[in-house]
Amino acid sequence: MALSMFQASVPPLIRALNNLAAILEKGAAHAETRKIDPAVLINSRLYPDMFPLGRQVQIASDVARRGAARLAGLEAPRMEDNETTFAELIARLHSATAYLETLTPEQIDGSEQRSITIPIGKDRTMVMEGQSFLFYFVLPNVYFHVTTAYDILRHCGVELGKIDYLGKP
């Protein structure tokens, strides 16, 4: 059986965002237990020129939501980037997964060769075919930002392991 574009996109994106929400819940619990201001963790970054945890979560949810919507030929609902707490970041991830759950195989399957235009910065665009867009842009970007969020919290002492990133089977 061939793998469909829907199967290759929506379920893995939902899983990655749900795993990230669980990782953030562990971060919130760590902050509470250790009496650390949660804002310290949310604003932590791995290196000065990298985005902080909160922005990593926002980008992961944006790329997942917008990427799947573009494959379906739709415009994803807009989200404000105003989250400042663990609860707000987790709610954002749940909102993104709720949107992904509305997409159907009929909307995404057959998008392998669909021309996808991606805005890059303020005045540039990149055009890719759907399959390349999914495998070389959407999935790597989501995994990069989920991994970076995981790494930030792990670096801050949150007890996380590989199974937190991968999720339980």
Each domain of the chain, given as residue ranges in start order, spans 5-166
What is the per-residue pLDDT for 113?
A: 96
Whether 1 shows a pLDDT value over 70: the answer reads: no
pTM attached to this predicted model:
0.95
pLDDT in tens, 113-143: 999 999 888 899 999 999 999 999 999 999 9
Q: Are residues 63 and 141 in contact, defined by beta-carbon separation less than 8 angstroms?
A: yes
How many other CB atoms are found less than 10 A from the CB of residue 122? 5
CATH number (1.20.120.450, 1.10.10.10, 3.30.70.260, 3.90.45.10) of 5-166 reads 1.20.120.450
Closest by CA to 38, choosing from 93, 76, 85, 103, is: 85
**Mean per-residue pLDDT over the chain, rounded:** 96
Phi, psi (5° rounding) for residue 126? -130, 140
Mean pLDDT over 29-42 rounds to: 98
For residues 20 and 152, what is the distance between their CA atoms, to the nearest angstrom? 12
CA 84 to chain centroid, in Å, comes to: 17
Helix axis angle, 86-100 to 53-71, nearest 10°: 10
